Amino acid sequence: MALFRKSKNSEPDFSQIVLPSHIGIIMDGNGRWAKKRGLPRKAGHTAGAKTFRKITRYCSDIGIKYLTVYAFSTENWKRPSDEVNSLMNLFKSYLEEALEDFKDDSIVVRFIGDKSKFSDGLRSLMLENEESSKDRDGMVLNIAMNYGSRDEIVSAVRNISADVKNNIISIQDINENLISNYLYTSGQPDPDLIIRPSGEYRISNFLLWQSAYTEFVIMNKLWPDFEKSDLDEALKIYSSRNRRYGGV
């Protein structure tokens, strides 16, 4: 595993590294990667999907418990229809083939986001993947598709209101913990680390509630160029941070 490979010069002591239990990744930069090579954006998404596979495996290998990857936002529907269509086709082929691979690693696959906007075929593949992996005991992989954090919060508020109206809960029951439990990530710890490749310094509607005390690492590599060693680098940066949560 690359994380434990010693560098020739400095020999960093990786045994001292504090591993995050939950990592979020904003898989960004596919379009720019393709443009740099004179290729259609679609080619960037295909290359990005390969990186997704490699980095997901690696996270599972090194003992990460939860990985949340941002694959398609509620705002990404604004893109030209040929790009959206090629992304949907890519998702389909991934759900048919590549996710099978995660079986060997005992990965639990979950989709976070509003599934209702996808085609029936894609939605049933998503449900099939969730169902067939739910009893595994490995890393939980949340794939954020048609995910928007504001949309997630709106739907939580609606569901909480409905439960108050139907006397399932009372207004006094509403607290931070209860709100967390109405989100897609219910029952999971908040992300400790969010990595954004491609050098953009923004959150783009990803895990707004959950990232209240998350550490951010922005990296300049475009997602299709992202290597295991880049993840190691992000882990080292994370490990050196002093998380105070408002304390001293």
Q: Which residues bind Mg ion (CB under 5 A)?
A: 28
One of 14, 22, 24, 28 touching ligand IPE (CB under 6 A): 28
Question: What is the tally of helices (H) and strands (E) in the chain?
Answer: 8, 6
- The least distance separating Mg ion from the CB of residue 112, rounded to whole angstroms, comes to 19
In sequence order, the 6+-apart residues with CB closer than 8 A to the CB of 155 are 114
Stretch binding ligand IPE (CB under 6 A), from 6-14, 105-113, 170-178, 200-208: 200-208
One of 39, 103, 200, 213 touching ligand IPE (CB under 6 A): 200
One of 30, 60, 146, 211 touching ligand IPE (CB under 6 A): 30
27 binds, among Mg ion, ligand IPE, none (CB under 5 to 8 A by kind): ligand IPE
CA distance 150 to 154: 6
Mark whether 242 is an active-site residue.
no
Give the x-and-dash track for 62-81 against ligand IPE (CB under 6 A). Answer: --------xxxx--x-----
**Tokens 């259609």 found at:** 40
CA distance 103 to 107: 6
Applying the rule CB under 6 A, the residues between 75 and 114 that interact with ligand IPE are: 76, 87
- The least distance separating Mg ion from the CB of residue 49, rounded to whole angstroms, comes to 15
Of residues 28 and 230, the one with the C-beta less far from Mg ion: 28
* Ramachandran assignment for 57, one of left (phi > 0), alpha (psi -120 to 50 degrees), beta (any other): alpha
Stretch binding ligand IPE (CB under 6 A), from 12-20, 30-38, 98-106, 135-143: 30-38
Mark whether 105 is an active-site residue.
no
In sequence order, the 6+-apart residues with CB closer than 8 A to the CB of 184 are 112, 113, 142, 147, 152
In sequence order, the 6+-apart residues with CB closer than 8 A to the CB of 232 are 2, 3
Of residues 87 and 112, the one with the C-beta less far from ligand IPE: 87
Strand order through the sheet with 193-196: 108-112, 140-147, 66-73, 22-26, 193-196, 215-218
Binding stretches for ligand IPE (CB under 6 A) = 26-32, 70-73, 76, 87, 198, 200, 202, 204
Which residues belong to the active site?
Answer: 28, 76
